[in-house]
Amino acid sequence: MATLRLLLMMVIPLALVGKASGQSQQQQTKITQQYKIKADWLGAFGGYVKWPEDVAPKETFVVGILGGNAFIERDQTGTVHDYLAEIATKKVGGKRIVVYQFNSIDDYKPCHVLFISPIPAAGRQADNVDERLNAAIAKLKELNSQHVLLVSDTKGMVWKGTTIDFFYNPEMDRVNMLINRDAEGRAGLTISAEVLSLRVVKTVTDTDKDKPATDKKKRDAESN
């Protein structure tokens, strides 16, 4: 995956992304663009995050999805796009990207990135995203496998255990990332300065959760 292209996807307004691809805004909805960008980033983290040597990606970079596949979209022409399948055809840093989807945490296989889906897997409608995150944290603790980058796109998850939350910022018309630096440290990971310096990336720590609602970082976190 091209580093420059991925960085541009984060900083160019979504409306312009659709125009740049030669499609009208009707054909390329903002929701579709959001999930394409999120999927690209799940794969690209292999080039922007450093794992401890004993668990660092070797020949493959593994992305797991816990819950339903929110990355499938149908455009105005009726064409179905599965953005997870698309990143699974690519490489990052010379390593093949492998994507696993887990209906439940009982299906878990070791991953470098685990995305907590906002929707349940088929047949598991009783599940909710908080339960999926809690189950993932418990499973990783049980396996003594804390060096996993937990990611979501659900509001407030960085206060509950994820390291990165994606969210759409309507004022910027861009997908933003909220990164909890304390969670990053607990997982033994290092996110590159190139990512942290992006204008669409906001960083918080655990202590920001208890700050007053008027605090800018707290507002940013609660608005995602």
For residue range 2-46, list pLDDT tens digits in order: 454 555 555 544 444 444 444 444 444 555 578 989 999 999 999
Q: Is the pLDDT of residue 84 over 50?
A: yes
On whether the CB atoms of residues 1 and 47 are closer than 8 A, the answer is: yes
The better pLDDT of the pair 130, 211 is held by 130
Per-chain mean pLDDT for the chain: 85
Q: For residue 75, name the pLDDT band (cuts at 50, 70, 90).
A: confident
DSSP 189: -
End-to-end CA separation in angstroms for the chain:
27
The whole-number pLDDT of residue 24 equals 45
Tell me which of 60 and 32 has the higher pLDDT. 60
Q: Which two three-digit tokens encode residue 182?
A: 């304390």
Q: What is the pTM of this model?
A: 0.85
Q: How far apart are CA 108 and CA 222, in angstroms?
A: 30
Q: How many CB atoms within 10 Å of residue 206? A: 13
Region 66-71: mean pLDDT is 95
Residue 200, Cα to own-chain centre: how many angstroms?
14
Signed CA dihedral, 150, 97, 10, 70: sign only: negative
pLDDT of amino acid 28: 46
CATH topology of domain 3-215: Rossmann fold (3.40.50)
Per-residue pLDDT tens digits for 121-171: 988 776 899 999 999 999 999 999 999 999 999 999 999 999 999 998 888
pLDDT at 90 over 70: yes
Share of residues in the chain with pLDDT > 90 (%):
66
What pLDDT is recorded for position 26? Answer: 43
pLDDT, average across residues 72-98: 91
Name the more confident of 175 and 51.
51
For the record, the structure tokens of 118 come out as: 């906002």
User: Using 50, 70 and 90 to split pLDDT, how confident is the model at 211?
Assistant: confident
> What is the band of 77 on the pLDDT scale with cuts at 50, 70, 90?
confident
Q: How confident is the model at residue 94, as a pLDDT?
A: 94
